Structure 1
Amino acid sequence: MPKILEQKKLNKYPIKLFKYVRSPYWWFSFFVNKSYSANGMEYQSSKLKDVKKAEAYSISYFKKFNFEKYENFKTKLIQDFHKDIAVPYFNVRKLTNEKRYKKELGQYNNEILPLFKDIDYSNTSEVEEKVSQLFYNLKIKGLAVATCRNYKIIISNMFKKALMNNNIPFDVMPEFPKLTGNSIRRLAYSPKETKQIINAFRDEYKTREDMFYDEVADFLCMLKSAGFRPGLELLRIKRNHIGFINDPLNPNKPIMKVTLLETKKDRHTQTVADWFRDDVYPRIVNRYPNATELDYLFFPNEENREKLFNRIRKNFIRISDKIGLYDVNGQKRPIYTFRHSFISNRRSKEVDPNIVAIHSNTSVAMINKHYQDLSDDNLVNIHNQLYPERTRKQKTTKNY
């Protein structure tokens, strides 16, 4: 093979640029599939001498390449990544942290396994190409940097465990891309927008005559009423987790409380808005008149809660996008933004951040970092609190 004079690895794409000693042009390579060539790689000359132009050409070539033509090819491997590296890791993870295990296993099955299942993990170059491809895929899907870091933790821990297993031919940790950037500050939904989305689910129920959409509308109402974390935290609420507290100041308006047994910070109790208690909760309870106190509050007949939430999440994206509220100025607003919107709304009402943090089972630091509304109207309010002399009545001086 000709001697390489210079090489460069692109940060945003799983592409390597290199220059041979006897060639004036830049070449590039990227992994395709085991069926494509002897080592699964594509090699091409850019026929360009300028590295910047060669880089742009290689990216364009990569984007147009027909990967689907080769992705279904199967070959018999000496090494089995899933059996040798993934399974031993998840067996231990299940014993040490079952809650995280389930989430990590889902991320592995969705994004990591499809790329690594046919890999020869004893080939360092091939592993690194797949690592680059993984984070390229995550980026084009618009995942937050924090989420990408979670994938990095999973796969690096898998490889670390594999290094300690002397029964398999894996002895070098691959290089991982540097993940830079801050967590996404989501643009909150306004109260009017959350109502639009909820009504869109009601309309979908009327059109399809499928009770699923009407119940999801109530599920979103509960998110809106108290800023719960959407997903399994809310879907695991059972009827006996609901209670009422007598309020001496409002004897005719008991406060509805919800006990969450499994949250990011263990057990927690939250209260909900009065409008939810009066207008929505009775409808939820009456939907399943034969349900017991030990049944789930939402969708009591659905056993697989992970699958259920995935269906809710996908339909939320579809319906909110259909009415033009999901993507605003290039920023996506998933179902989690309902929680963000509740916290931002409470802060805009000048509720003490400590009170909001206690209620929402988070910290003041997290609220300031992720949930603080920095719109111009709120900045004016913050500025005038920071400089109270601006709003004090100014003394007038008489001109004589």
Structure 2
Amino acid sequence: MLKVGLTGGIGAGKSAVARRLARNGAVIIDSDVLAREVVAPGTEGLAEIGTAFGPEVLTAEGELDRPALAARVFGDPEARRTLEKITHPRIRARAAELTAAASPDAIVVNDVPLLVETGIAPSYHLVVVVEADRAARVRRLAETRGMPLEQAESRIAAQADDTVRRRAADVVLRNDGTLDELNEQVDRLFRNRLRPYEENVRLRSSARPDRRLHIADPDPTWPEQAERLIARIRHALPAGHLVSHIGSTAVPGLPAKDIIDLMLAVRTLDEADALADRLAGAGFPRRPGEWIDNARGLPGETWPKRLHGGTDPGRTLNLHVRVTGSPGWRFALLMRDHLRAVPEARDGYAAAKVRWSADHQDRYTYAEAKEPWFDDEARAADDWAERTGWRPDSGETAG
């Protein structure tokens, strides 16, 4: 089962995307619908709202007077938090029930207006954000909901802005054109990413990178992408595990293969094996047979680890699981921090990548070609660490 979070600012077109996903076969769980269910007449949710806000938020028939309640909470953060404490746990519980009832091969899309604001993005395999120009959103609210322009502007301003939502987004759908154009985007997303993603999650199979080598220009969004993946890993594991962004994509300004490398620190490899099932369920299955850092260490020495991949066909990644304090764990952090701190080393590595990629079109032979450079640079990195007092846990935080 694939769990997708769908969100977007009011008037952006999120409901249109949900309808099209449903046409493609997705199971839609609409948080707005659930929000009405959990405060329907006779529910504990409605009774608690009446106690918290008084009888003036109820109609003569004992139903929730939504305009009256909205007037109480809009612009009053404390009142809004009180309402959210009543409704949000009930909405999440009902959504969990509906998700559990879905088919094992379902693509379950949770339509959540406040997905970013409530901090639940890491609980999904993928987050889709719908965006539209602010002026278009105001116009839609006026035309489709009869909302006065001033009220529409206020409602938009009360939500997270596009910049904040975009940081949580694995996919951004722009809705500045026609409905047909939006539907085409949704159809491509479902066909090319969601459907194979679901199959990979269900079969616990990694989405493998193309064997052909391509070195991409530095992408300033690589760290944001890594943070989203790290948040999912932390959400899936017990608290206290350190997950780091390593490798070339963790070094600003460095060209790299478009593959995010992450590292999970564990106490023992037995612990790594015990966590494998949780990681697979979150979309990070183990890659069988890949157990050691083949080219690192002294002659005849191996550096054991566990290697996991990612099930998302739109984001290739490697998750290295290493024991805290082990040579492989230290080496990964040291090389990253050394390349970040020493521009000459970073630029030398970038130039070497150009040479290697010209001679090797296969990513495996390319990796082998890098080893002599790493042997030399590792000595330089050790010297740098000794001079600066570098420690492998500097700048790292556990979640």
**Larger Rg belongs to:** 1
- Could you say which TM-score interval applies, normalised by the shorter chain? under 0.3
| TM-score when normalising by structure 1 | 0.26
| TM-score when normalising by structure 2 | 0.26
Q: Which one has more relative contact order, counting CA pairs under 8 Å at least 6 apart?
A: 2
